[in-house]
Amino acid sequence: MSILNQASDGLFNVLIVLVRALVRFGPRERDELILVCGGAADPVDTSQLTRTLNRWTELGLFVEDKGAITIAEPYLSALGKKADDAEARLPKVARTVAFLPANNVRFWESEEARSADLSRGVAWMLAQDVYSLDVNADRLTELEGAQLIDSSAKKIAQNNTRWNGLKTWMLYLGFARDSMQWVIDPTEALRDTLPDIFGPSRELTGPAFVERAASVLPVLDGGTYRTQVEAVLKERAWPQPKDGSLSSSLSRAIQRLDREGAIKLANRSDTEGVVTLTGTNMRTWRDVSHVSLPPAEEVD
């Protein structure tokens, strides 16, 4: 099983169709669900519906109870009762499911790895210099081989098909954007998780913000999956940030959210802990001692 092998394991747009159907029509037997998703139409490839349903059932998003397929709790409640709301909220739910520890136990294995290929791929991409990375599949393969301590024992992606699958899923899950060109940018994923990061707080120290972000999105700096990937990279073969500095990917997201007004950054002289944002050529952007949410009226 591999999320990134799109031909065999499903596409995110097919996942959207399945979720919309289940939210709109409620639990359905497998054959009936395929039909309400358009399975009877000639142009529809029902194998993609079946494969996507199988994979995300294995991951725990869907469950089969008494012959009927439904969305598992707490994901059903998180998606809401309207199909349009469910589609908008699905990237966050899909990230949550994919990053579950149970779906990443076989982190470096190629067989029965569940969503581990996605987790390690996103973590590796976010560890790179977002301003200089060549995202051509062949160049990514070369860089992977140059950075891994033992590329014969561990792989980030298996082939060009997986690299393309990774880039597609990163776009959907909010870890990249594509306008004139595809670029690494976890802004949307970070924006989605701000309520989980802050909880009841309105302000966090810079280090606490980064630590909580990593607990929610373990592919970010300091996260469980990120540290597993960084542990197998050669020193000086990848753009390792200095102590106290953040990767260029997380720095980009924090800086963008600050400029948009979603968060506010401060550097107070009377504080002990700070984090440093990294820009182009690994240069320091700014030091951040505190991250806060703007007043509700400013958000509105």
Confidence of residue 124 (pLDDT cuts 50, 70, 90): very high
Q: What is the pLDDT of residues 228-244, one digit of tens each?
A: 999 999 988 888 888 88
Residue 10 has pLDDT above 80, yes or no: no
Of 15-19, 80-84, 134-138, the range with the lowest mean pLDDT is 134-138
Among 5-14, 43-52, 61-70, the range with the most confident prediction by mean pLDDT is 61-70
Of 39-48, 86-95, 153-162, 278-287, the range with the lowest mean pLDDT is 39-48
Mean pLDDT to the nearest integer, 259-286: 89
Mean of the per-residue pLDDT values for the chain? 90
CATH architecture of 6-91: Orthogonal Bundle (1.10)
In the chain, where are the structural domains located? 6-91, 99-300
With tokens 């639990």, the residue in question is 27
Q: What is the pLDDT of residues 84-123, one digit of tens each?
A: 999 999 999 999 999 999 999 999 887 778 899 999 999 9
